[in-house]
């Protein structure tokens, strides 16, 4: 074929195939048969294999998946990708509307564009002169990963925009997997002995983060656009207008494929009605959503409203209550925790809730069991909120088996057989035997945890075995263990015994804060451990502290003080500390910086930051800042990440300064 006509035919084929891809994947209205489509595609591939100098960047052949990458490169977003403030209560929409009107100093009804909150992976597509040149994940909002090769495999995303495309159009939206596709993918994965995914969102994220685009190409992913990034050569008047324009360019939007699922609402009541309407249709939707998103429709007003920390003031998300399912309680187990608390757990017939198989649900305590009257054999409604432990919401009484009996937590500890007690005014039933085997095991597990003594080679299983072999009954026993002791256990080799002993040895210089935390005193978490270490400086001073002295420590109230006193007045426990010291544990207290750039300031973190929460706290403290446990007028800064909770509102109402992670970095 002559050069020129090969090129022409190539261009022609690219655009014909793009048209059919759009008809099939976006409009759901194929024009030609699969056979005819395959013929066109084969012709295209043949041409590309034999001719040189063809432009492959926007060729549908790219959708099959290019060569695997070594790593994803990081690219900065020209406009940061923000997150949304959210709430679970539709009533908050009225507050949101109030805030907006107040900020704009207007009484006029505000027009809102209401959308679905897709539960997928957010993405930015960069079109330059109509060509899809780049696709970035959200990353930390400032810098994302370049997943262009992978995005090109999603057939509903146009590689080229039609005529009149602006110089730059950055399109933001969500990559997701339809529920049905997800189920089929998991079936296939299982059959092939490959990893299955917990839910469609994880499957979509896992598929996008493949270095080999051929894997991504094999995954049934979809995309819906909902927002703008940077633009050149085009302007928009409203949020609705943005979606309309995307749709004209062939970019998938909810507005185009499901116009019933978006709405321009006048005032907050119409928004609330939208919320309830969507909540009703939610289970019938082919994909997961976790709420609705409400945006001020006018872009001029959006501009006036601006940002609070990393969220726009002009938008909010109203989330739905968690998803529910029905199953049968086969048994109720009672577990004993570190502080002796007895927790009843329902063991259920496995059931899928929001795409995840669930078998256990916490019943919290006797009061909760009584309130819901959950019995063995009952059919129950359970729910999962995000990633937390599932809960029993209610019992389906019509399905209750005859002769069922109310469940009562036993009056003897299921682990050690001692009496249990339930104090006046407390909901928790406790085993009061401090030597209870279950409590001992749980305390020892807490002691070795990463944020406590960090004995990383000693896991839960080993602790159970050591306790059962009577080699371990108290904290100090860790420092008495020998290699021979470990070797006397089943299935322990020389190397692993050495590793275990050396990992215990390494834990012998704990900072005071972690040591106090490791002791497992009730109500003394990591943060309280730090405050106590700061205040008392040495372990001796801490152990001798009176209740009055404890109450001097910031954030320590009567309940915590009382619990500490109970612990420090127990001779057996205090002896344990001295034993450990004798055995070579050298408790250090690296004087914490009060010099740094954050010295004298207090912080609290809410939402997801670009770094791990614990690391963020360390950074603040290393620079002299203090971490507080709650929002109060004493707090200087609330550091806000993605999906922040209600702390933001509280901080705002108390006039606490709200800053983003980036702003904090600048203060350092």
Q: Are 355 and 337 in contact (CB under 8 A)?
A: no
63/172 with CB nearer ligand IVH: 172
Q: In the complex with ligand IVH, which residue's Cβ is closer, 378 or 642? A: 642
Q: Does 293 bind ligand IVH (CB under 6 A)?
A: yes
In whole angstroms, give the CA distance from residue 177 to residue 40.
27
174 touching ligand IVH, by CB under 6 A = yes
Tell me the per-residue interface mask from 69 to 88 with ligand IVH, x by CB under 6 A, - otherwise: -------------xxx----
Q: Residues 7-46 vs ligand IVH: string with x where CB under 6 A?
A: ----------------------------------------
For residue 36, how far is the Cα from the chain centroid? 45
Least gap, CB of 82 to ligand IVH (angstroms)? 4
The verdict on 122 binding ligand IVH (CB under 6 A) reads yes
Q: How many residues does the chain have?
A: 668
Cβ neighbours, 10 Å, residue 193: 6
Q: How far is the CB of 440 from ligand IVH (least distance, A)?
A: 44
Q: How far apart are CA 351 and CA 336, in angstroms?
A: 25
User: Taking contact as CB under 6 A, which single stretch among the options 115-123, 181-189, 385-393, 550-558 is the one that binds ligand IVH?
Assistant: 115-123
In the shown chain, the binding pattern of residues 298 to 327 toward ligand IVH, with x for contact by CB under 6 A and - for none, equals --------------x--x------------
The Cα–Cα gap between 265 and 638 comes to: 33
DSSP 340-401: SBEEEEEEEEEEEETTEEEEEEE--SHHHHHHHT--TT-EEEEEE-TTSPPEEEEE-GGGPP
Cβ-based neighbours of 437, under 8 Å, separated by 6 or more: 415, 416, 467
Stretch that binds ligand IVH, among 45-53, 116-124, 425-433, 484-492 (CB under 6 A): 116-124
Question: CA 561, CA 568: separation in Å to the nearest integer?
Answer: 10
Q: Where are the alpha helices (DSSP H) in 469-595?
A: 483-487, 494-506, 512-518, 526-536, 539-544, 547-551, 558-568, 571-582
Q: How far is the CB of 665 from ligand IVH (least distance, A)?
A: 21
Q: Give first-to-last CA distance, the chain, whole Å.
A: 65
Q: Would you call 117 a catalytic residue per the annotation?
A: yes
The rounded distance, in Å, linking the Cα atoms of 332 and 376 is: 7
Provide the minimum distance between the beta carbon of 279 and ligand IVH in the complex, in angstroms, as a whole number.
15
Distance in Å, CB of 619 to ligand IVH, minimum: 24
Does 485 sit near ligand IVH (CB under 6 A)?
no
Output phi, psi for 459, to 5 deg: -100, 180
Single residue of 58, 115, 140, 170 touching ligand IVH by CB under 6 A: 115
Is the distance from CB of 241 to CB of 71 less than 8 angstroms? Answer: no
Cβ distance to ligand IVH smaller for residue 315 or 466: 315
Site map 517..556 versus ligand IVH, x via CB under 6 A: ----------------------------------------
- Among 135, 227, 415, 585, contact with ligand IVH (rule: CB under 6 A): 227
Query: Which of 14, 117, 372, 530 is labelled catalytic?
Result: 117
Torsion, Cα 628 629 631 632, to 10 degrees, reads -70
Least distance to ligand IVH, CB of residue 613, Å: 18
Q: Is 226 in the site for ligand IVH (CB under 6 A)?
A: yes
State the CB neighbour count (10 A cutoff) for residue 571.
8
Question: Please, which residue, 115 or 534, has the CB nearer to ligand IVH?
Answer: 115
10 or 201: whose CB is closer to ligand IVH? 201
Comparing every residue's Cβ against ligand IVH, the nearest one is: 122
Pairing status of strand 602-606 against strand 626-627: parallel
- Residue closer to ligand IVH, measured from CB, 254 or 556: 254
Which one among 111, 270, 368, 643 touches ligand IVH, defined by CB under 6 A? 643
Which of 388, 399, 386 lies closest to 360 in space, CA to CA? 388
* Catalytic residue positions, numbered: 117
Residues in contact with ligand IVH by CB under 6 A are 82-84, 115-118, 122, 138, 174, 226-227, 293, 312, 315, 642-643
């Amino acid at each position: 074929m002559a050069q020129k006509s090969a090129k022409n035919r190539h261009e022609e084929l690219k655009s014909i195939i793009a048209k059919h891809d759009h008809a099939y994947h976006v409009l759901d209205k194929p024009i030609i048969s699969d056979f005819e489509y395959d013929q066109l595609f084969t012709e295209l591939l043949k041409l590309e294999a034999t001719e040189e100098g063809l432009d492959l960047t926007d060729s549908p052949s790219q959708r099959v998946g290019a060569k695997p990458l070594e790593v994803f490169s990081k690219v900065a977003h020209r406009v940061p990708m923000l997150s949304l403030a959210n709430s679970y209560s539709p009533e908050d929409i009225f507050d949101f509307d109030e805030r907006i009107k107040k900020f704009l100093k207007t009484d006029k009804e505000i027009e809102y564009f209401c959308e679905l909150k897709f539960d997928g992976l957010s993405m930015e597509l960069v079109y330059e002169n109509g060509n899809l040149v780049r696709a970035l994940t959200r990353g930390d909002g400032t810098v994302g990963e370049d997943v262009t090769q992978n995005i090109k495999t999603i057939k509903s995303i146009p590689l080229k925009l039609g005529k009149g495309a602006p110089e730059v159009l950055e399109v933001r939206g969500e990559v997701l997997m339809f529920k049905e596709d997800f189920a089929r993918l998991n079936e296939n994965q299982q059959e092939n002995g490959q990893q299955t995914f917990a839910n469609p969102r994880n499957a979509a994220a896992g598929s996008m983060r493949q270095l080999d685009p051929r894997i991504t190409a094999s995954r049934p992913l979809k995309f819906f656009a909902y927002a703008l990034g940077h633009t050149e050569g085009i302007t928009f008047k409203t949020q609705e207008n943005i979606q309309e324009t995307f749709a004209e360019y062939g970019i998938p939007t909810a507005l185009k494929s499901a116009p019933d699922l978006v709405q321009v609402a006048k005032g907050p009541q119409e928004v609330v009605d939208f919320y309830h309407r969507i909540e009703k249709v939610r289970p019938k939707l082919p994909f997961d959503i976790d709420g609705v998103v409400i945006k001020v429709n006018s872009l001029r007003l959006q501009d006036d409203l601006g940002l609070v920390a990393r969220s726009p003031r002009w938008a909010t998300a109203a989330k739905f209550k968690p998803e529910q399912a029905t199953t049968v309680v086969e048994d109720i187990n009672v577990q004993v925790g570190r502080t002796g608390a007895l927790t009843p757990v329902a063991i259920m017939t496995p059931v899928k809730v929001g795409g995840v198989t669930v078998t256990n649900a916490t019943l919290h305590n006797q009061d909760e069991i009584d309130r819901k009257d959950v019995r063995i054999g009952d059919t129950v409604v359970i729910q999962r909120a995000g990633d937390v432990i599932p809960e029993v919401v209610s019992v389906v009484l019509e399905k209750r088996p005859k002769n069922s009996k109310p469940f009562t937590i036993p009056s003897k500890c299921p682990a050690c057989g001692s009496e249990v007690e339930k104090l006046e005014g407390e909901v928790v039933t406790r085993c009061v035997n401090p030597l209870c085997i279950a409590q001992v095991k749980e305390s020892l597990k807490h002691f070795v945890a990463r944020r406590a003594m960090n004995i990383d080679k000693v896991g839960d299983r080993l602790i159970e075995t050591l306790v059962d072999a009577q080699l371990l009954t108290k904290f100090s026993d860790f420092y008495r263990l020998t290699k021979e002791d470990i070797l006397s256990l089943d299935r322990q080799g020389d190397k692993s015994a050495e590793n275990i002993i050396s990992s215990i040895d390494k834990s012998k210089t704990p900072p005071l804060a972690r040591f106090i935390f490791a002791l497992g005193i009730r109500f003394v978490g990591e943060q309280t451990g730090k405050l106590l270490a700061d205040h008392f400086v040495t372990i001796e001073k801490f152990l001798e502290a009176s209740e009055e002295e404890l109450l001097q420590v910031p954030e320590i109230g009567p309940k915590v003080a009382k619990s500490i006193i109970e612990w420090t007045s127990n001779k057996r426990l205090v002896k344990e500390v001295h034993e450990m010291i004798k055995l070579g544990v050298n408790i250090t207290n690296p004087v914490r910086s009060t010099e740094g750039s954050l010295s004298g300031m207090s912080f609290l973190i809410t939402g997801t930051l670009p770094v791990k929460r614990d690391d963020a706290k360390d950074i603040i403290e290393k620079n002299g800042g203090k971490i507080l446990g709650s929002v109060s007028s004493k707090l200087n800064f609330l550091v806000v990440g993605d999906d922040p909770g209600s702390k933001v509102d509280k901080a705002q109402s108390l006039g606490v300064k709200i800053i983003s992670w980036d702003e904090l970095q600048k203060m350092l």
